[in-house]
């Protein structure tokens, strides 16, 4: 039912004057009359008695007045609820990220933006799929992900590079070598970080480039568990250096390897986004990136 017609009906019950109602609603008297007549046809009852150049509510109009008032009030409450929801939604910044984001500059960029915009609420979602950019872009979601190749697109903003290193126990026989020739690790047990069905980059490929097939004895998504296993002498691991952060204990060491492989960290956002918080964050990233160039 047309809300404008119902609102004009309520206004006219107050003024009982077409001219005054038209002025209050920035309409012509003729348009107000047409709207009221259309409402009467829709309801199939006369709402006003128009005799003697004066108008009065009919019995049907008086009967329907409380119900119409409730409809208009309920509709306004509904509109207010939706408006509040949209406002809050536009202030929510949804970021899908690799689990190790706090160890990268991307996290610093995000934290700086949130400090500058305390009205924005963060919705952070971690996923191993971000490790290889293996995801479908949703319209209003920002992605922080790793790519094994450089990306040249205006909706992808680079933050930094990273590269593979070896993580060994401190008493490993190769601990004094720097860098370590990857082929020297051919007989080791490899503990890999990443999903079993979709390896966090193909460490296998890197090892094959060094001339051997790695013996993978464990693959999982918990970096703390893998590091603990290395401490216990259950194997070694190849990980992106910065993903380690400050998580290494005194029982572990990191060594450069040859060959290695670089990765690139990016923020990405759909060009079709219409979420204000997402657009504001990306404008911030573009501005920050431009200052560094």
pLDDT digits (tens, 9 = 90+) for 91-118: 989 999 988 899 999 999 999 999 999 9
Q: Which of 37, 57, 84 is the last residue of a domain?
A: 84
pLDDT in tens, 194-245: 764 444 457 888 999 999 999 999 988 788 899 999 999 999 999 999 999 8
151 and 281 belong to one structural domain:
yes
Distances 251 to 1, 29, 192, 202, 232 between C-alpha atoms, Å: 73, 87, 19, 27, 9
pLDDT in tens, 53-66: 789 999 999 999 99
272 and 153 belong to one structural domain:
yes
246 and 272 belong to one structural domain:
no
151 and 240 belong to one structural domain:
no
98 and 73 belong to one structural domain:
no
Q: Which of 84, 102, 119 is the last residue of a domain?
A: 84
Judge contact between 239 and 167, C-beta under 8 A: yes
Q: How far apart are the first and last CA of the chain?
A: 57
190 and 278 belong to one structural domain:
no
**Pairing status of strand 156-169 against strand 180-181:** unpaired
pLDDT at 199: 45
d(CA 270, CA 143): 9
3-state DSSP assignment of residue 180: strand
Judge contact between 123 and 95, C-beta under 8 A: yes
Q: Find the angle CA(146)-CA(164)-CA(231) to the nearest 5 degrees.
A: 115
Total domains in the chain come to: 3
CATH number at residue 252: 3.40.190.10
- Residues spanned by the domain of 42: 3-84
248 and 283 belong to one structural domain:
no
151 and 271 belong to one structural domain:
yes
3-state DSSP assignment of residue 26: coil
- Cα torsion 125, 279, 140, 147: sign: negative
253 and 115 belong to one structural domain:
no
76 and 102 belong to one structural domain:
no
pTM for the model = 0.70
Q: Which of 84, 108, 143 is the last residue of a domain?
A: 84
166 and 246 belong to one structural domain:
yes
130 and 166 belong to one structural domain:
no
150 phi/psi in degrees, rounded to 5: -75, 145
- Looking at the DSSP assignment, which residues form a beta bridge with residue 126? 97
């Amino acid at each position: 039912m047309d809300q404008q017609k119902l609102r004009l009906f309520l206004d006219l019950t107050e003024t009982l004057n077409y001219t005054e109602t038209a002025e209050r609603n920035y309409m012509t008297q003729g348009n107000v009359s047409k709207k009221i007549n259309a409402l009467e046809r829709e309801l199939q009852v006369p709402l006003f008695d128009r005799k003697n150049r004066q108008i009065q509510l009919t019995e049907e109009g008086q009967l329907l007045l409380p119900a119409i008032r409730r409809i208009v009030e309920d509709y306004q409450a509904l509109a207010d609820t939706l408006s509040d929801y949209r406002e809050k939604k536009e202030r929510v910044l949804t970021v899908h990220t690799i689990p190790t984001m706090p160890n990268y500059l991307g996290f610093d960029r995000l934290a700086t933006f949130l400090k500058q915009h305390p009205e924005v609420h963060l919705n952070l979602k971690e996923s191993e799929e971000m490790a290889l950019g293996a995801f479908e872009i949703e319209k209003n979601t920002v992605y922080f992900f790793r790519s094994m190749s450089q990306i040249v697109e205006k909706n992808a903003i680079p933050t930094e590079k990273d590269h593979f290193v070896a993580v060994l126990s401190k008493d490993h026989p190769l601990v004094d070598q720097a860098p370590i020739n990857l082929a020297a690790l051919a007989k080791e047990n490899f503990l890999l970080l990443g999903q079993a069905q979709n390896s966090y980059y193909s460490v296998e490929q890197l090892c094959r480039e060094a001339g051997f097939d790695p013996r993978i004895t464990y693959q999982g998504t918990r970096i703390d568990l893998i590091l603990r296993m290395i401490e216990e002498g259950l194997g070694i691991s190849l990980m992106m250096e910065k993903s380690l952060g400050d998580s290494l204990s005194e029982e572990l060491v990191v060594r450069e390897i040859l060959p290695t492989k670089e990765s690139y960290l990016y923020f990405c956002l759909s060009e079709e986004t219409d979420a204000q918080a997402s657009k504001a964050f990306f404008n911030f990233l573009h501005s920050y990136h431009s200052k560094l160039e």
